[in-house]
């Protein structure tokens, strides 16, 4: 007999067939190692960063967690140790079974097994696991073979295996090897969800597993391996394919930042992504509610544990849009007593201090970010007014709390909430930037631009934070580009442009947000960016973040005169920029914004390095986009095409431009992707935006005339022309243009053939113009040619 728990650590297991350690012990070792690694870093951070309040008691110095959190973490360790002492006795995998699965593994590694034979082998092998699922699934070697069997077996064998080991499923999930087996089984179930006949069988199997999981959820949630399996189980209940469920396990910080700065659409299940399958919503609600119900006494442990925080974050994301369910789940996670929100008063004043203290903990701060993102409107407003009111600046000063404030600002829904936030953070721009809390400033600027409120105050406060009243506004943009370098400088009045320093990422993002504001609000920033020296502009264009700042400026509402001043400073440098990976984007943007003469200058510079540029990764696209080959062969026609495009854009703006856009010269229609960078939600909206982009890019004189015809018809019928009619009109115009171009090509070809070739060659010519209708062209070619000649 072998033990499954802490005593397994003392046993000498054979290398071939392992008796796996308890997941609690492994998780505890993992946490202790991780704690040792992070210890030195946290000490350094604690010295630099201030705490929540200056008048904080002496027993909780900056960087030190409150006693309640320390006690919760200590109890977590004691509970893990006590859990590890509970043993699950199991037999070691007998040699005969091990040999049997070894032969199956060797058979699958070969190539002589067809699909039917493979299915039969999987069925027979899974039958051999009956009563021995725990031993086989937790064996380091045989578990790999078991994963292969679960992937290739039929649905009935798969569900039979899971139902047979349902009572041991938590122990399998918390094991290092068994967790992979559990993940594979759940993934195989998810693949079969597309079959309607399998829905009831899968539901029955998952119900049995969930009923066992909720008996002791804390142990699984706090396990490094069980936490991941439990998250996959939650995603499967929602109907999210496990292959695409990474967004719900752990989200990338870059994606979170892009969403908060309006650069990326928020991707939560409430938005119903297209790959969402038919799930089990009632089972999901049951699993989440029962887990929290059973773990209510240990909620302090779940709040500060890293792995349980991951599970709770996933559960909240999957419940997005389920306001009734969230109104019960979120108060539990906040630590509110059950009687308070049963009476209607969700958050008591006694809980507020505990929540503010917990925001210093990394795990809970991540959990609070998700809570703020998914909270219903009424609950969000209560959290803002009862927890964060009069504490926003203090929370922003902490390195963990600042991220919570960013999530709070990005989740604001109305002007009233924004006003409360502005009153506390608005006067503290300079202090926050000095402490390195530029993310809070960036989130506030993005929220202001999204809600169209406090825009002028934000622009003024940011400019005042980096530039004093007696200084020129020319220094605003350079100082924001090098935000950390400027604020770390002791003599800020004599700060100058640094050499070979990388530009600040958040500083560049702040400037991108600023240039999305209306032009009348950003005049100091416009003056600053066009006042930079030519070599500084080139350095900004070469930087990845700085190049995006220039693109945002060229796509802003600034006047064409100001944009031209900046473009002139890059003359003679487009050749060098085009060879740079990030600089090629700014070259393309400069070409789009320029007039015909400056476009010709850019094209001539790129023509000189056409051969070298074609060998780079970005070169072929840039050469094709700017039509450098056309400029080299037929420069006069190239100029006419560029002039006609520019005329078509101006005419389009004159007819359909909004009042906000102003004159067509001041606005660039192609810059709408920067002014409105967030992608639409849903297929219909995305198609509409694509159509709008096609309208802007492919509008020509013929297409524009078709639009005018539709507009005239609409006026005659006293109807307003819709966006759908506009797109149809332009499509008709483009079709007509294409048809006419083909006919002109045919005429030119026929004319040349008449002087050099016989009639048979003329009859063969239309076959190359449209290969899909060869027979029809062969029959009608002579008649068409004669009609065209008569017209001439």
Q: Are 448 and 454 in contact (CB under 8 A)?
A: yes
> 21 in the Ramachandran plot: left (φ > 0), alpha (ψ -120 to 50) or beta?
beta
Residue 626 has pLDDT above 60, yes or no: yes
Long-range contacts made by residues 726-730, C-beta under 8 angstroms, separation at least 24? Answer: 726/656, 726/695, 727/691, 727/692, 727/694, 727/695, 729/703, 730/694, 730/695, 730/698, 730/699, 730/703, 730/706
CA pair distance 575, 571, nearest whole angstrom: 9
Is the Cα dihedral 695, 701, 706, 711 positive or negative?
A: positive
Nearest-10 crossing angle of helices 224-238, 23-48 = 100
Tokens 């010519």, located at residue: 765
b/e map of 171-194 (b: 16 or more CB within 10 Å)? bbbbbbbbbbbbbbbbbbbbebbe
> 262 in the Ramachandran plot: left (φ > 0), alpha (ψ -120 to 50) or beta?
left
What is residue 736's predicted lDDT score, i.e. its pLDDT?
A: 46
CA pair distance 529, 532, nearest whole angstrom: 6
Q: How confident is the model at residue 494 (pLDDT cuts 50, 70, 90)?
A: confident
Tokens 């998780």, located at residue: 27
Instruction: Point out which residues pair with 3 in neighbouring strands.
Output: 89
Structure tokens of 481? 């580009």
For the beta carbon of residue 75, count every other beta carbon within 10 angstroms. Answer: 14
Weakest-pLDDT range from 122-131, 190-199, 649-658, 707-716:
707-716
CA pair distance 440, 410, nearest whole angstrom: 10
Mean pLDDT throughout 91-101?
86
Q: Are 372 and 407 in contact (CB under 8 A)?
A: yes
Q: Are 361 and 65 in contact (CB under 8 A)?
A: yes
Q: What is the pLDDT of residues 141-158, one digit of tens each?
A: 999 999 999 988 889 999
CA pair distance 21, 5, nearest whole angstrom: 6
For the beta carbon of residue 82, count every other beta carbon within 10 angstroms. Answer: 11
In angstroms, what CA-CA distances link 525 with 118, 476, 522, 673?
Answer: 68, 7, 5, 21
> 63 in the Ramachandran plot: left (φ > 0), alpha (ψ -120 to 50) or beta?
left
Structure tokens of 734? 């483009």
Residue 515 has pLDDT above 60, yes or no: yes
Tokens 């506390």, located at residue: 424
Task: Name, in order, each residue with C-beta under 8 angstroms of 790's C-beta and a sequence gap of 6 or more.
Answer: none
Q: What is the mean pLDDT of the chain?
A: 75
Q: Are 578 and 613 in contact (CB under 8 A)?
A: yes
The DSSP symbol for 722 reads P
Weakest-pLDDT range from 68-77, 512-521, 671-680, 743-752:
671-680
pTM, two decimals, is 0.71
Residue 2 has pLDDT above 70, yes or no: no
Question: Which of 223, 189, 219 is closest to 206 using CA atoms?
Answer: 189
Most distant pair of Cα atoms in the chain: their distance: 103
In angstroms, what CA-CA distances link 770 with 237, 318, 669?
Answer: 52, 52, 34
Q: How many residues does the chain have?
A: 792
Q: Are 486 and 495 in contact (CB under 8 A)?
A: yes
Q: What is the pLDDT of residues 684-705, one digit of tens each?
A: 454 444 444 444 444 444 444 4
Residue 27 has pLDDT above 90, yes or no: no
Nearest-10 crossing angle of helices 560-568, 523-530 = 20
What is residue 501's predicted lDDT score, i.e. its pLDDT?
A: 84
Question: Which of 404, 440, 437, 444 is closest to 422 using CA atoms?
Answer: 444
CA pair distance 612, 623, nearest whole angstrom: 11
Question: Which of 272, 268, 261, 382 is closest to 315 using CA atoms?
Answer: 268
E strands, 34-102, in order = 88-90
Question: Which of 296, 383, 282 is closest to 338 using CA atoms?
Answer: 296
Q: How confident is the model at residue 342 (pLDDT cuts 50, 70, 90)?
A: low
Structure tokens of 225? 């391996």
DSSP 633-686: H-HHHHHHHHHHHHHHHHHHHHHH--TTT-STTT--GGGHHHHS-SPPSSHHHH
What is residue 120's predicted lDDT score, i.e. its pLDDT?
A: 85
Task: Name, in order, each residue with C-beta under 8 angstroms of 724's C-beta and a sequence gap of 6 or more.
Answer: none
Question: Which of 93, 88, 90 is closest to 5 using CA atoms?
Answer: 88
In angstroms, what CA-CA distances link 253 with 250, 378, 403, 445, 785?
Answer: 9, 28, 11, 19, 64
Give me the percent of the chain exceeding a pLDDT of 90.
47
What is residue 582's predicted lDDT score, i.e. its pLDDT?
A: 85
Can you give the C-alpha Rg of the chain in angstroms?
Answer: 33
Residue 452 has pLDDT above 70, yes or no: yes
DSSP 528-591: HHHTS-HHHHHHHHHSHHHHHHHHHHHTSS--HHHHHHHHHTTTTTHHHHHHSTTHHHHHHHHH
In angstroms, what CA-CA distances link 572 with 108, 546, 562, 622, 762?
Answer: 63, 19, 19, 17, 49
CA end-to-end distance (rounded Å), the chain? 101
What is residue 407's predicted lDDT score, i.e. its pLDDT?
A: 93
Task: Name, in order, each residue with C-beta under 8 angstroms of 585's C-beta and a sequence gap of 6 or more.
Answer: 547, 548, 551
What is residue 92's predicted lDDT score, i.e. its pLDDT?
A: 81
Q: What is the pLDDT of residues 79-93, one digit of tens each?
A: 444 443 344 555 688
Weakest-pLDDT range from 89-103, 270-284, 624-638, 725-739:
725-739
Please give the helix or strand (H or E) that residue 3 lies within, else none.
Answer: strand 2-4
Residue 66 has pLDDT above 60, yes or no: no
Structure tokens of 2? 């072998």
Question: Which of 168, 375, 242, 268 is closest to 231 using CA atoms?
Answer: 242
Which phi and psi angles does 623 have, rounded to 5°? Answer: -65, -40
CA pair distance 256, 54, nearest whole angstrom: 30
Weakest-pLDDT range from 11-15, 129-133, 241-245:
11-15
What is residue 244's predicted lDDT score, i.e. its pLDDT?
A: 59
Weakest-pLDDT range from 428-442, 524-538, 647-661:
647-661
Chain centroid, CA 519 distance in Å: 29
């Amino acid at each position: 007999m072998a033990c499954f728990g802490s005593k397994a650590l003392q046993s000498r297991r054979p290398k071939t067939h392992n008796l796996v350690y308890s997941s609690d012990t492994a998780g505890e070792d993992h946490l202790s190692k991780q704690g040792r690694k992070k210890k030195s870093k946290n000490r350094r951070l604690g010295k630099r960063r201030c705490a929540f309040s200056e008048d904080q008691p002496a027993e909780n110095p900056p960087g030190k967690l409150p006693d309640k959190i320390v006690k919760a973490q200590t109890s977590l360790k004691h509970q893990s140790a006590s859990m590890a002492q509970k043993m699950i006795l199991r037999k070691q995998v007998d040699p005969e079974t091990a040999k049997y699965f070894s032969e199956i593994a060797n058979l699958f590694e070969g190539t002589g097994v067809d699909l039917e034979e493979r299915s039969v082998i999987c069925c027979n092998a899974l039958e051999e696991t009956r009563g021995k699922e725990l031993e086989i699934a937790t064996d380091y070697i045989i578990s790999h073979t078991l994963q292969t069997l679960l992937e290739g077996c039929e649905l009935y064998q798969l569900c039979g295996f899971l139902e047979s080991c349902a009572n041991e499923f938590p122990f399998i999930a918390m094991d290092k090897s068994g967790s992979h087996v559990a993940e594979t089984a759940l993934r195989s179930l998810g693949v079969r969800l597309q079959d309607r006949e399998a829905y009831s069988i899968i539901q029955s199997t998952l119900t049995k597993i969930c009923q066992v999981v909720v008996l002791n959820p804390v142990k699984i949630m706090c396990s490094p391996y069980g936490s991941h399996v439990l998250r996959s189980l939650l995603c499967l209940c929602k109907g999210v394919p496990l292959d695409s469920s990474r967004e719900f396990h752990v989200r990338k910080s870059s994606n979170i930042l892009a969403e908060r700065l309006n650069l990326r659409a928020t991707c939560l299940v409430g938005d119903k992504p297209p790959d969402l399958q038919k799930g089990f919503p009632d089972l999901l609600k049951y699993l989440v509610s029962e887990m929290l119900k059973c773990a209510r006494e240990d909620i302090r442990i779940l709040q500060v544990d890293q792995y349980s925080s991951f599970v709770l974050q996933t559960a909240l994301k999957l419940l997005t849009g389920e306001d009734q369910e969230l109104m019960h789940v979120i108060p539990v996670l906040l630590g509110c007593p059950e009687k308070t929100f049963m009476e209607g008063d969700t958050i008591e004043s006694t809980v507020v201090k505990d929540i503010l203290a917990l925001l210093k903990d990394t795990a809970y701060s991540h959990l609070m970010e998700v809570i703020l993102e998914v909270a219903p409107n009424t609950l969000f407003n209560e959290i803002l007014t009862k927890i964060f009111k009069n504490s926003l600046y203090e929370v922003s000063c902490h390195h963990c709390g600042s991220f919570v404030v960013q999530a709070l600002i990005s989740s604001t829904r109305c002007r009233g909430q924004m006003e409360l936030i502005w009153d506390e953070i608005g006067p503290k721009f300079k202090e926050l930037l000095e402490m390195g809390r530029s993310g809070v400033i960036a989130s506030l600027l993005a929220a202001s631009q999204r809600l169209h409120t406090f825009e002028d105050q934000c622009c003024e406060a940011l400019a005042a934070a980096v530039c004093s009243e007696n200084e020129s506004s020319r220094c605003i943009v350079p100082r924001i580009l090098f935000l950390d370098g400027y604020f770390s400088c002791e003599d800020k009045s004599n700060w100058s442009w640094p050499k070979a320093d990388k530009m600040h990422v958040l500083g560049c993002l702040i400037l991108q947000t600023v240039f999305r504001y209306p032009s009348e609000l950003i005049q100091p920033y416009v003056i600053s960016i066009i006042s930079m020296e030519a070599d500084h502009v080139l350095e900004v264009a070469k930087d990845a973040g700085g190049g995006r700042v220039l693109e945002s400026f060229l796509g802003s509402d600034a006047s064409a005169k100001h944009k031209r001043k900046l473009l002139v400073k890059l003359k003679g440098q487009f050749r060098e920029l085009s060879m740079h990976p990030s600089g090629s984007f700014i070259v393309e943007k400069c070409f789009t914004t320029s007039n015909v003469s400056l476009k010709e200058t850019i094209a001539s510079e790129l023509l000189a390095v056409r051969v070298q540029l074609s060998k780079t990764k970005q070169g072929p696209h840039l050469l094709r986009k700017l039509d450098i080959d056309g400029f080299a062969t037929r420069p006069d026609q190239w100029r006419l095409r560029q002039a006609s495009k520019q005329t078509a854009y101006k005419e389009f703006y004159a007819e359909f431009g909004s009042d906000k856009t102003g004159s067509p010269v001041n606005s660039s229609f192609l810059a709408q992707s920067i002014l409105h960078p967030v992608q639409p939600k849903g297929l219909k909206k995305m198609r509409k935006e694509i159509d709008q982009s096609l309208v802007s890019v492919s509008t020509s004189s013929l297409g524009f005339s078709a639009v005018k015809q539709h507009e005239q018809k609409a006026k005659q019928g006293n109807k307003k022309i819709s966006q759908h009619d506009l797109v149809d009109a332009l499509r008709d115009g483009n079709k007509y243009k294409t048809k006419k171009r083909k006919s002109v090509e045919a005429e030119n070809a026929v004319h040349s053939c008449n002087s050099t070739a016989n009639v048979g060659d003329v009859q063969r010519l239309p076959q190359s113009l449209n290969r899909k209708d060869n027979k029809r062209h062969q029959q009608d070619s002579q008649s068409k040619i004669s009609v065209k000649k008569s017209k001439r």
